Each structure stands twice: as C-alpha cells, then as structure tokens.
Amino acid sequence: MKVFGLIAVFVVGLLLLSATQDFPSWGDPRSAASDGEVSSFYIEKTESVTKVPNMVTAVLADFRGYDTMFETVVIFIAGIGIIAVLRNFEGTDSPSDNDNDDDGAGLLARFTCSLILPFIQIFALYVVAHGHHSPGGGFQGGVMFGASYILLALAFGLSKAKQLFSERRTMIFAVIGIFIYVGWGVLCLLLGKEFLNYSVLDSILPGDSMMARSHSMLVVEIGVAFTVTAIMFSMYSNLSTRGRLSKGL
C-alpha cells in the first residue's frame, strides 16, 4: 500500500511540475494577471458596480462566487473526512468519568479566558459583518469564532465547550452555512437570473441592484462563517482527543 501511495505522489508531482512551464515569468508585465482585462475591471469598476470598497471581498463573494462556495464545501468535506477517519465511539459511554479527567487549565487561565472570550467573539462578528468594507469576511471571522471555542476548551476543558457547542450542534451549524450560501444562489435562480447573480435581489433587498450585491456578500459571508466556525472546532475536538471527544488537551 505504501508503494502505491508513493507512486501516486510521484506521478501527481510530475504532472504539477510539468504545468509550471506554462506559468508566466515572475513580474512579467505582459502576463494575463498583470495586463488582463479582468484584473483591470476589478481594480477600476468594483466599487461602482457593487458598492463595496473592499475589492478582495467583492472578487471572492461576488465575481468569483462559485469558487468561494466550493471552497466552503471543501472545508466542510475536510471536517467530515477527519470525523470519518478519527471518530472513535469506544469508551464514551460514561461522560461522568470523562468529565473528571477534563478539568482544563488553572485558575489564572480560566479567569483570563473569561475576560477576553467575549471580546474575541464580538470582534469575530465585526470581522464577518464588516468584511465587505474592510479586511475580513466569513473565513477570517469564522476562524476567530472557532478559535474562541478552542480557547474555551483549553481553559475550562473540552466537556465545558461541548456543553455550548456539542458535536451535533457543530454539524448542524456547518450544514446551515452551506445551505445559506447555496440557498442564496437558488433564490437568484427563482427570481429569474443566474445562480449567485445577486443583482436580481434588489426586489427583496433595500436599495438598487448594486446595493443588492453588497448586501448579498454579507449574507454569503455569514454562511461561510457558520461552516468555518463549526468545522474548525470539530477538527480540534477530534484531533486533540484522537476522536473520542473526551479527555482533551
């Protein structure tokens, strides 16, 4: 089995290296990325057609919405993959015994966590909500929110964090995030436009079609944040406990 894996890695590596011959030279002003009409359009027209000053978010959540949607799905699949490989249901039938071995950190760490945890989560919400106007978005805010639950698990024990964000709840949140993103695209279809063509949503959102694109970016970023938060904490829970979801770090 190891030999077959090594052969697969070698073949894929050769294919990837052969593809580098088609890359433009570093700093080539005539490359598609530097001289293309697409990049010029993003730079010159993003704010006027989307009412979003953050060009990066506009590209990710609007112009390149399909790609970002599937990136979110990939994160979800990665979380499911870790659960499928690591999840171990043996020895988890007596939660009282497991809780006694999962006391978390010391008093100072718990006190510090209690002070800073609300601020971390508030800032995470700000990053998600303001990501289309300043650096941030669903991925960044979701990572911060997921990290806040990891901090809670480190300070108070995984059993305490699971009371707030259980395994079932993390999976529900992850699926809801995907449904928010995909459902918003389906809504565009139902209103007569292409999938993820937000401009048609001006009939149900305040403002004109350009503002509809701005508001829609916030909606899909919220969906991304749901999935990233849930999967990040799920990954930590399984990796730190070897899939038992008890007796964490």
Q: φ and ψ at 28, to 5 degrees?
A: -70, 115
Give the Cβ contact number of residue 86 at 10 Å: 16
pLDDT of residue 87: 86
Sorted by where each begins, the domain ranges of the chain are 52-88+106-249
Average of per-residue pLDDT values in the chain: 87
pLDDT, position 247: 67
Q: What is the rounded distance in angstroms from the CA atom of residue 201 to the CA atom of residue 192? A: 10
For 37-49, what is each residue's pLDDT tens digit?
777 888 888 888 8
Predicted local confidence at residue 134, as pLDDT:
85
Instruction: Give CA separation, 16 vs 4, 22, 106, 233, 241, in Å.
Output: 18, 11, 48, 32, 35
pLDDT in tens, 115-145: 999 999 999 999 999 988 888 889 999 999 9
CA 114, distance to chain mean position in Å, is 25
Per-residue pLDDT averaged across 142-157, rounded?
A: 92
How do residues 154-208 score in pLDDT, each as one tens digit? 999 888 888 888 889 999 999 999 999 999 999 999 999 999 999 999 989 988 8
Per-residue pLDDT averaged across 72-100, rounded? 75
Q: What is the pLDDT of residue 93?
A: 45
CA 121, CA 109: separation in Å to the nearest integer? Answer: 17
Residue 1: pLDDT band by 50, 70, 90 thresholds? low
Q: Which residue has the tokens 């994160």?
A: 75
Q: Which residue has the higher pLDDT, 243 or 141?
A: 141
Written as one letter, the residue type at 52 is V
pTM of the model: 0.81
Q: What is the 3-state secondary structure (H, E, C) of the chain?
A: CHHHHHHHHHHHHHHHHHHHHHCCCCCCCCCHHHHCHHHHHHHHHHHHHHCCCCHHHHHHHHHCHHHHHHHHHHHHHHHHHHHHHHCCCCCCCCHHHHHHCCCCCCHHHHHHHHHHHHHHHHHHHHHHHCCCCCCCCHHHHHHHHHHHHHHHHHHHCHHHHHHHCCHHHHHHHHHHHHHHHHHHHHHHHHCCCCCCCHHHHHHCCCCCHHHHHHHHHHHHHHHHHHHHHHHHHHHHHHHHHCCCCCCCC
Q: Report CA 225 to chain centroid distance, whole Å.
A: 5
pLDDT band at 96 (very low <50, low <70, confident <90, very high): very low
Q: How confident is the model at residue 67 (pLDDT cuts 50, 70, 90)?
A: very high
pLDDT band at 248 (very low <50, low <70, confident <90, very high): low
Of 237 and 34, the one with more pLDDT: 237
Tokens at residue 148, please?
């806040």
